[in-house]
Amino acid sequence: MLTQEQELAVKSVGQNVLVAAGAGSGKTHVLVERYVEILRNNPETGLSNIIAVTFTRKAAAEMRSRLKSKFLQLSLDAGEKAQGLDRRWHEAMLEVDGAKIGTIHSLCESILKLFSADCGIDPQFSMLDELTTKELLSQAIEGAIRDIVLSQSEVGESAEAQTSSHQHELFVLNVLDFDKLKSLLESMLRSSMQINETLAIVDRAYLLTGKIALESLRDFASRLLDEVKRQRLRELLQSEKLKRLLQEAASNAIAKDSDAMEQNRRLVLSCFADASKRLTPSASGLAVSSQEIDQCWRLIGEAASINMRGGGRGDDVKAVKEILKELKALCQDFIEKFEPSFNTFDEEGFEGILGIVSLYRMALERYQSAKAELNSVDYNDLIAMTIEALSAPQSRARAFFAERLHALLVDEFQDTNDLQARLLSLLAGDSTRIFLIGDDKQSIYKFQGADVATFNKWRDALRQGLPALKGESLVTKLTASFRSHPHVVGFVNAVFEKVFDSDPAILSYVASFEALNAARPLDESNASENHVDIVRFVEDEEYPGDKAQFEAQMVAQWIKHKIASGSEIEEKSGARRTLNFGDFAVLVQRNGDFQHFEKVFARHNIPFVVFGGSGFLRRQEVLDFENLLRFLDNPQETGHALLAVLRSPFCSLTDDLIHSLADGTRQPLWQKLLAKSEERPDLYGQTVRLLKRLIEDAALLPLDELLHKIVADTAFDLALLAAPDGRQRSRNIWKLLQMTAECDHISAGEFADRLAKMRQLGVRESEAPLDGGDSVKIMTIHASKGLEFPAVALPCLSGGRVALLDKCIYHPYYGIALNTAREDKNDKPGWFKLAAFLNEEMEWEEKKRLLYVAMTRARDYLALFVKEGGRNVKNYRTMLQPILFGADIPPAQGLLAASLNFRGQDQPFNTYLANDYLGQYDWRSGELFASQVGIQDEIKSQAMLLPTMSRTAKDPEVDTLGLTRITARGRRADIAIDEGFDRELISSNFLGTFFHQLMENLPARTRPDEDFLRRYVSDVAFGQSFHMAHGPVLERLLQEGLKLLDTYYESRLFELVQSSPRLFKEMTYLIDSYGEEYKKRQPDLVFEGADGLWYIVDYKTDHLEAGPELQARRHKEQLQSYARDLEALTGFVFAPYVYFARPGILYPV
């Protein structure tokens, strides 16, 4: 079934159509139905006559799958059989795998291969991989810079000529340091299509000469400045806020003409009336002149500078004064946004632009030559060469498509740009009908070259009838949201009606607001439950962890609260069920925010999976493999690599065994290991046998077979599964194995070098994707585009709005600008300031669209996390607060049911302060992380006393490298334990360290419940260095910890501590050793008993084979020295005790 809007988009196959499709409106369904409708209405049209362009390969695969399913359904339909169409649909189903459905780059690749002779390219060309691209770019840039530098080393008369000919390039070399210049030129070369388009707009002769003229640059800058001022003035004069204020000012005259506020009122009204008149085009149609624009600017400046002092005291004066205050603030904000003129540094900036363009062209020529030698192309070449082939006079490629192409369907049209749109239009012939579908509110790929202005231009052109396209045109929309709950839809509408507050007719880079209509019915049985939460929070100064994790703590509490409260969702089938972890998605703006949620979710035992991290090449498991391959390639010369291998899960030797290899000789580590294995085969024999076997395999097997065999022989992927985020680690290894399939012709050492070089050059390689299952999904908003989730959390809304600008910025909208300012001076060219202002405005508009994408991912529940307070900078928090709450922030405590008005209807949401409403957090249980005071004032010091520990617990520090070392001697942990190796795995020293960490942060005077204790001991166990990643070993340590704590809670020590009025753990102090260095002391526990006596206690996990008295003597001197020190420091008498943790004995010494 199709809605009326969908039916119009599907059935209008005889027209060129642009569809603005809102989020969740069934865009892909419409695209598929349109494809089928084209075939149904045109019997002569086959799949070979239709091209469908998608944004990603995944989207293309999904469209093929849906078409195949639809064709199968139609081939079996009785009605279709009656019309004799079943065979046609069956044939279409068989042909769909070969249909032209794919990305624009795959389309271009097929065109270039089909018409390679016309394009002047070998049809066997290949696509550059990222590593080769990085290398070629680096070589091209360094070569171009070297040419300039070497040209200055010429002597004689030619030196002066060279200097003169390269003065602009040399100026750039002086202004920018080498690394910044190299990074800038690489960015420009990667965006060569956009750069060339931009420069051609600045100077039309650029495409012919490869240069831009200084006069052309000045003229472009001057025209753009006028246009921007004109746009800003028009936007101000058409704003609803200004119209309201002027209307109020006009209708609130003050009776006394001489009153100062009345004079101001008349002045402001006169200024705006004059400005409006000057901005109105003349009857002859001539554009408003620069002089008129400048005069309008001065008029707004005059209104912004009115003197608000004086005036009478009557109510009428007060009312006008309030209106004028708002008007003045509005005008001041308008004037201060950017400088409406150039400055004395602009000529320097313009000359620098000429230099940077010249360097770019020199590097581009080198880069193009290098690609030609390799018979390779990059993605820019695909687009540029295809446009060139289609634009050529008597183009065979264009004639081919004009004759055969009946329909061109383009998905996600908002993520294209003018060049891509031009390419697509060149494919269309007289009989071709174009179908463009997308959503300008979801255009979020500016950093990849997408430009929402393209969508806006085509929408306007098709409304007016585009002469270049044959046939009628139609612009329509899809507004029914089948995805989101009515509360979510209403909330999104109410927010973004105010957020999308600019007009695309004035500013081409903004999106227009179009309300969504909720297609899902409201469940009357559960209508009272709000599905949108605004979770406000105040950072707790006493929070023990990283403050950046505090917000993640709020999200974790919200997720657990929603699950515990039994919140229900509606499946697409209509069935209802309660939420589980797999229903939640946490969407953030940056990959860098992932780590905070990973740590907090792990602490809360919330299962999670991270999508889209970019640290693949720096993951420990990848580095382990890289070191192993480096060793296998050259065992004698790779000592550092072998050392890493021995500590990795491949071998899992303990640090003690590795240290014992050091014999003071310069012999290779591999030779030392061989010798040790002869001496102690029980400790080293298995490792040496494994490595010898792998060395033999490396000499005989292809790379991909070698890596598969390594994984099979060592169970490396299974070992990784035992570690935290083990599934991600294991999947990364299989991704690494997939990469070897493309490098089967190189050796193990060469592949290791390749990985290192990719890391060195900054190649971004994402981690392997995971199946989320019943886990919370953590991803960026960009990665979530096209997806939907039952419950969505949107934290991290208080970040800054835009990244730091490059020294050189460029875009077809504002041209190219260079910042020639020195680091310590405020001498930016006015032209750069204008371009930076426009760039920042464009970035902010895209940020708004990004938030729209994020909110519309939610099906049933949406939560926004808004930090109270903070800096007054332009970000999501400061944008949303006045929309959500106006000037009145809700009360701090309790749940508040609130609403936003949208077109006369209230859209409900909940708001509450998380610190109060969500309850106390795990970290506040008992006294676990409670803040405690330092040593009491009466404790006097004759030595320098260190500040006592701030009794705030730290997150267990997980040794990532250590966690990869699973067991001693490479044995399986469960076998090692069964065979009695637990004494080696969990020694007394090791257990002692573990017990000390347990006691340090344990609630002092209360006994927590068993669930808390088990989570707490497990968290601390994970921080215990080497073999704790393995499940059986971890379980053994967990049981040991629980046993020790059970014993402690039944002990005399706990009985004393429970009634202690004052208590200090791990109390650190310094003692002056008679002019020598200070000595640091740290008894485990110091406390005052209920009887007024002071106790010093040290924890020991010794085995008491000889009894407590004999064992206590070994620690007597240490404890008595503590007592002497503290008595000297305080004047109090301290009784020293040893607490033997295994039997739970508190023994005096």
Q: What token pair was written down for 641?
A: 């690599």
Q: How far apart are CA 1099 and CA 1137, in angstroms?
A: 9
Q: Residue 900 phi/psi, 5° resolution?
A: -115, 145
CA angle, 881 as apex, 875 and 883 as ends, to 5°? Answer: 110
Residue 899's CB: how many other CB atoms inside 10 A?
15
Please check if 1106 is assigned to a binding site: no
Please check if 22 is assigned to a binding site: yes
Q: What token pair was written down for 242?
A: 């200004």
Q: Which residues does 798 contact at the CB level (< 8 Å), separation at least 6? A: 867, 870, 875, 876, 877
Q: Which residues does 935 contact at the CB level (< 8 Å), separation at least 6? A: 945, 948, 1064, 1067
Q: What token pair was written down for 683?
A: 């400790």
Tokens 């190219």 found at? 816
Question: Any idea what DSSP says for residue 948?
Answer: P
Sign of CA dihedral 822, 826, 828, 833: positive
Q: Which helix (H) or strand (E) holds 295?
A: helix 290-304
Compute CA 851 distance to the chain's CA centroid, rounded to the nearest angstrom: 13
Q: Could you give the 3-state DSSP secondary structure of residue 1072?
A: strand
Q: How far apart are CA 842 and CA 510, in angstroms?
A: 8
Please check if 498 is assigned to a binding site: no
Q: Sort residue 570 into left (φ over 0), alpha (ψ -120 to 50) or beta.
A: beta
| Maximum alpha-carbon separation in the chain | 111
Please check if 27 is assigned to a binding site: yes
* CA distances, 274 to each of 226, 245, 269, 282 (Å): 18, 17, 9, 14
Please check if 23 is assigned to a binding site: yes
Q: Could you give the 3-state DSSP secondary structure of residue 317?
A: helix
Q: What token pair was written down for 628?
A: 């192993």
Sign of CA dihedral 452, 455, 456, 458: positive
Q: Could you give the 3-state DSSP secondary structure of residue 863?
A: strand
Q: Which helix (H) or strand (E) holds 610?
A: strand 608-610
> Comparing C-alpha atoms, which of 47, 131, 892, 88 is closest to residue 536?
892
> Comparing C-alpha atoms, which of 781, 793, 782, 797 is closest to residue 879?
797
Compute CA 170 distance to the chain's CA centroid, rounded to the nearest angstrom: 38
Q: How far apart are CA 230 and CA 294, in angstroms?
A: 9
Q: What token pair was written down for 545?
A: 């962890």
SS3 of the chain: helix, strand, coil, percent, to 5: 55, 10, 35
Amino acid at the residue 766:
S
Compute CA 566 distance to the chain's CA centroid, rounded to the nearest angstrom: 31
The alpha carbon torsion through 388, 393, 397, 403 (nearest 10 deg) reads 140
Residue 1022's CB: how many other CB atoms inside 10 A?
21
CA angle, 984 as apex, 980 and 990 as ends, to 5°? Answer: 135
Please check if 26 is assigned to a binding site: yes
Q: What token pair was written down for 34?
A: 């349109």
CA angle, 132 as apex, 131 and 137 as ends, to 5°? Answer: 100
Q: What is the DSSP string of 366-392?
A: HHHHHHHHHTEE-HHHHHHHHHHHHHS
Laid out side by side, the sheet with 433-438 consists of 100-103, 50-54, 407-410, 433-438, 16-21, 473-478
Residue 712's CB: how many other CB atoms inside 10 A?
10
- 876-885 and 830-855 helices cross at what angle (nearest 10)? 60
- Residues contributing to the annotated binding site for ATP: 21-28
- Residues contributing to the annotated binding site: 21-28
